[in-house]
Chains A and B, each alone.
Chain A
Amino acid sequence: MGTQTDRLTDIGPPHYEKFLHPVIKKNYGKWKYHENPAPGVLCHVSETGDRIYTVRAGSPRLLSIQTVRLFADLADKYSGGYLRFTSRNNVEFLLDNPDNIAPLKKALTDAGFPVGGTGNAISNIVHTQGWVHCHSSATDASGIVKSVMDALCDHFTEQKLPAKLRIALACCLNMCGAVHCSDIAILGIHRRAPKVRHDTLNKVCEIPTVIASCPTGAIRSATVDGKPSVEVIEEQCMYCGNCYTVCPAMPLNDPENDGLSIWVGGKVSNARSAPSFSKLAIPFIPNNPPRWPEVVDAVVNIVDIYARNARKFERMGEWIDRIGWPKFFELTGIEFTRYHIDDFKNAGLTYARSAHLRF
C-alpha cells in the first residue's frame, strides 16, 4: 500500500446533491402533489408553485456507452443535463420547461426508446444477467425480456390496465433481482442436480471445499472407480449452483432440462392488500431461443385474461384472491399439476383449510 500514496479507497459514492436539478434542489421535501398528464410523463408540483416534469423511457438495462452518451446528449438538449434511472431500469429526464416534453418524447421514440411505464401500465422488466454474464443461469435473461416486452410494448406506452402490472425475470432460483413479489415472475429453473465429473474432480477441485460449498449439505465424499470424488444426494439439491461456482467439475447447466417457470400474483406495495409472494402458475417451459414464443404466449395470455377480468385497481393477486385459484386456472387454461402443491417447508400453509369453495 505504501507505494501508492495517492490511491483513494473507501470514499463511498458521490453525494447525490451534485446531480440534482436546481428545481429539485430548491423544492426538496416540499413536493405537494403530482399529475400524470400522459403515459410516461409526470408533473410534480411543489408548495412553492414550482413544477418539475419527468419523461420516462424504457431501456434494455444492458447499455453500450454509446447509448449512455446519447442519453447524456438528450439531457443536455432538453433537460439541462439532468437525468436519473429508476429501480426498474427506466431512464428519466427531469425538465423545468414543459415545451421540451414533446420534442424529447419524439427524440426518444425515434431513437427506439419507448416513452411510458407510468400509472396503470406494465413497466420495464426487472431482470438479471443470464447467458450474458452468469455461470449458473438456466436461461438467458435479456432475450426473454426483449421478446416479452416486444409483445407487451403497448402496455408500456399506454395506461389501459386495471392496475399496475409488474413483471420480473431471474435466470436461476438464486433470484438476483426483485422477482418473487411480482404480478408475473419468469424464473429460470434447473431440474437436475449437478452431474459430477468423477474423472477430473479430484484434479481440479478441493473435495472439502466442494462439500462445504453446498448450503443444503447435499454433497458428501465418495470413491468412484477408485478415485476420490463426491456424490450429490439428489433429493437435497436445490440447484443453487454454489458447488459449480467453486468447482467446474460439478456442472449444473443442462440444455435438455433447464427452462422457465411462471409465477403470478405477488406484489411489493402495501396498497390495499399486504405485500405477497408470487405463486406458481406454470412449472416448466423448455428454453426456446432466440425468442421463447411459448413463454411470450404464456405471459401475454395471463395479461390478457387479467386485463379482461380484473376490476379497477385490482392487482393480479387481488383479482385471483377474489375469483379463487380454480377459476384462475380455468380462465387461463393453464393445467393444474402436482407441482403446484407445495411440498417444501411449512407447505401446509398453502393448503385449503376451510370449506370456502367457489363453484
Chain B
Amino acid sequence: MADQKYPTPLLDELEKGPWPSFVKEIKAAAKAKPTAEDLLGQLELSYEEKISHWKHGGIVGVMGYGGGVIGRYSDVPEKFPNVSHFHTLRVNHPSGWFYTSDVLRKLCDIWEAHGSDLTNFHGSTGDIILLGTKTDELEPTFNDLTKLGFDLGGSGSVMRTPSACVGQARCEWACYDTMALCNDLTHLYQDELHRPAFPYKFKFKCSGCPNDCVASIARADLSIIGTWKDDIQQDDAAVSEYAAAGLDIQKDVCDRCPTKCMDWDGKKLSINNRECVRCMHCINVMPKALRPGKEKGATLLIGAKAPILQGALLSSVLIPFVPADELLETLKELVSRIWDFWGEYGNNRERVGELIQRIGMSAFLDAIGLDPVPEMISAPRDNPYIFFQGEDVAEGTAEDEEVQNEATVKETK
C-alpha cells in the first residue's frame, strides 16, 4: 500500500501464507482510523526491537464500575500519538457466543463511532474485546452498548465473566443447560462482576459434559461439568451399524476405555456402568449408538488457577453430583459460603484454590459446611501427620477445635 503512513516491512511478511492475517485486519482498520494506523506503526517498532511498547498507567473505567476496561498507554506517544491511550473494553458476550448478523453490525457501528475498529472475537475469558480507544470515549461507548443491551465484563478482583459451552443449543451430550446457567449466574452476580470486592479473581465455567469444551477444569475457580448417574443410553442396532461400517469396537472402543468396563463379543456390547468413570471416550467414538444416561446433572469442582503464585492447579471435586434442576440453587447457596470464607480469610491476590492449598481441603470443607466424601480424592493421605480435631481426642476442648479451624495454616505436605 503506497499511501501507508509508516512502512511495515516486517509485519508485511505476516500477510503471506494461507492462515488469515491479523496484519491485514489492522491494515483494513487503518484505512479509516488513525488509531489503527499508529498501532501498526508501533507494532512494527516492537517487531524491530523485540519488545512491547505498552505501559500500564493508572486505572481507567466507566462511572460506578471497578472493572471491564484494561487501561493501556504507549511508551512512545511522541512517535505514535494516536495510541497514546489505547484502552480496551471487555464486553460481556451472550452465553454460548451466539449472535445475529444484525446485532454484530450494531456492535460494529458502536465501535466505529468510538474506537479503533479493531476487536477480538473473543478474549480468552470469553468477553468480546473492543481493542483500543481513548479515555474520554469510554463512557460514550458504554452508554451506546447498554442501549443495545450489552454490558461490560469483569476485570480485576471480581467475579470474571462466566462462560459456557454450546450445551443443549447444539450438543447432544449436554447434561444440563449450560447456557441458561451461565446467563443466570452472570445476571445474579452483576454487582460482584462490576465492583471488585474479592481477594482476587473468581471464575465460573460451565461445560455440559466431561469433554469440557470451555476448559473449566483448567481455568475456573468453580468448574461445573455435566455428568450422569445412571447407565449410558445404548442403541444396539446402531452399535452393529458402526461395527458393520468397519469400526473396530474391541480395539478402538473397549481397549481404550480407561476402566476396561466394556465388553464386545463380536455381536453385543456390554457396559458395566458401575465401573464407568464417565470419560466420554466411547460416546465420542460412537455418537449415534451411545449417549449419556438420563439421570443428568453436574459435578462441581473447585480451585483451578494459573501458575501465579504457588504453581498451577486443576480443579478438584467438591460435590460429585448435583441434579440438573437443582444446580442454580445449590450453586447460590454454596457460592455464598465460599465467598464469605474466602473474603474473610483469603490473602490479597490469593485465589480460592490457593487458599485451599494453604489451609488444607479439610479445613475448607469445615468452613463451608460440607462433609468429606471419598469422591473428593484420588487416594487417602499417605503420611501419618494427622492433626486430630479437639473433639476427637480425650483431653480436647471446644477452644482447641476453634483454634484448629482458625489456625488455617497447617501444612499438609
Contact = CB atoms under 8 A, between A and B. Distances in A.
A32 B132 contact: no
B172 interface: yes
A131 B349 contact: no
**Interface residues of A toward B: which range?**
35 or more
Contact of B51 (A1, A65, A253): A253
Contacts of B169: 16, 20, 24, 28
A161 interface: no
B108 A215 contact: no
Nearest to B99: A19
Nearest to B313: A277
Interface stretch (B145-153, B335-343, B366-374): B145-153
Given A31-B170, A175-B307, A20 B104 contact: no
Nearest to A81: B101
Contact of A131 (B43, B92, B170): B43
B161 to A, nearest CB: 8
Contacts of B95: 13, 16
Interface in A188-231: 215-216
Nearest to B194: A10
Nearest to A241: B56
B183 A15 contact: yes
SS class, residues of chain A in contact with chain B: loop
A289 B11 CA distance: 9
Given A19-B99, A143-B14, A268 B307 contact: no
A147 B50 CA distance: 16
Contacts of A345: 310-311
A1 B63 contact: yes
Q: How many of chain B's residues touch chain A, expressed as a range?
A: 35 or more
Given A12-B92, A215-B309, A272-B258, A84 B97 contact: yes
Contacts of A346: 311, 413
Interface stretch (A99-107, A243-251, A299-307, A351-359): A243-251
A344 B308 CA distance: 12
A159 interface: no
A332 interface: no
A133 B69 CA distance: 13
A298 interface: no
A289 B50 contact: yes
A8 B190 CA distance: 13
Contact of A71 (B25, B39, B104, B310): B104
A112 B309 CA distance: 41
Interface string B235-266: 00000000000000000100011100000000
A12 B151 contact: yes
Interface stretch (B276-284, B381-389, B401-409): B276-284
Contacts of A14: 94, 103, 148-150
A133 B98 contact: no
B25 to A, nearest CB: 4
Interface string B35-62: 0100100010011011111111100000
Chain A CB count within 10 A is highest, among B100, B148, B187, for: B100
User: Top 5 A-B pairs ranked by shortest CB distance?
Assistant: A150-B17, A72-B101, A270-B210, A149-B19, A8-B146
